[in-house]
Structure formats: C-alpha cells, structure tokens
Copies of this chain bind each other. A is one copy, B any other.
Amino acid sequence: MSYYRHHVFFCCNQRDNGEPCCNDRGSQKMRDYAKSRVKQLGLAGPGKVRINQAGCLDRCDEGPVLVVYPEEVWYTYVDQEDVDEIIDEHLVNGRVVERLRI
C-alpha cells in the first residue's frame, strides 16, 4: 500500500546565476496554491495526496516542472489553470493530463 496515493513534488529551485530555474517561473507560488487547494478538497493526508516542494529536479529547460509518484508522471505547467487541471484530473480522478506531460 502506498503511504501517499499521489506524492507530488514541485521543483522550487531558485538559481542566482541567470540560468533558467523553476522558481523564476512562479513554482513556489503554484506549489503553495496546490497545497492549499488539495487541503481544501479534503485530499491531503496519508493514503491520499501530499504536495511537497523539492530542490532542483534537474529538468530546468522544461520548467517549471513537477513529478507525481509513485506513478512517475512528470508535468510542466504555465499557470494556475494548468495546476488546477492536474489536481482535478490526475489527483482527483487518476487521469493523466497528456497535454502537460513531459
């Protein structure tokens, strides 16, 4: 049994050397939003969903990125609407959002 059914890691890395990084593209804010929305939906907790921030996931050129484990599905996203779609489709209904998959 999975400790978390869906364990989501948002890359929230901040680079200071001018190279692309997820946090320059708003990842921390989107992670905070996702965490709050998942809690609001009653999805948060053991056996359900966990939203975490993580250090650099090293897919910077494709960023901002997140990964959902254990199913190891990687996504990119642009805005809150994309994050909502990942929550509503993938985390709630278990359907991969192919248009955002990387």
Please report A residues at the B interface, Cβ cutoff 8 Å. 2-3, 7, 9, 46, 50, 52-59, 67, 69-72, 74
Contacts and interface: CB of A to CB of B under 8 A. Distances in A.
Contacts of A52: 9, 54-57
A9 B69 CA distance: 11
B9 A72 contact: no
Contact of A54 (B3, B53, B58): B53
13 contacts: A3-B67, A3-B72, A7-B72, A9-B9, A50-B57, A50-B58, A52-B54, A52-B55, A52-B56, A53-B55, A54-B54, A69-B69, A70-B70
Contacts of A69: 7, 69-70, 72
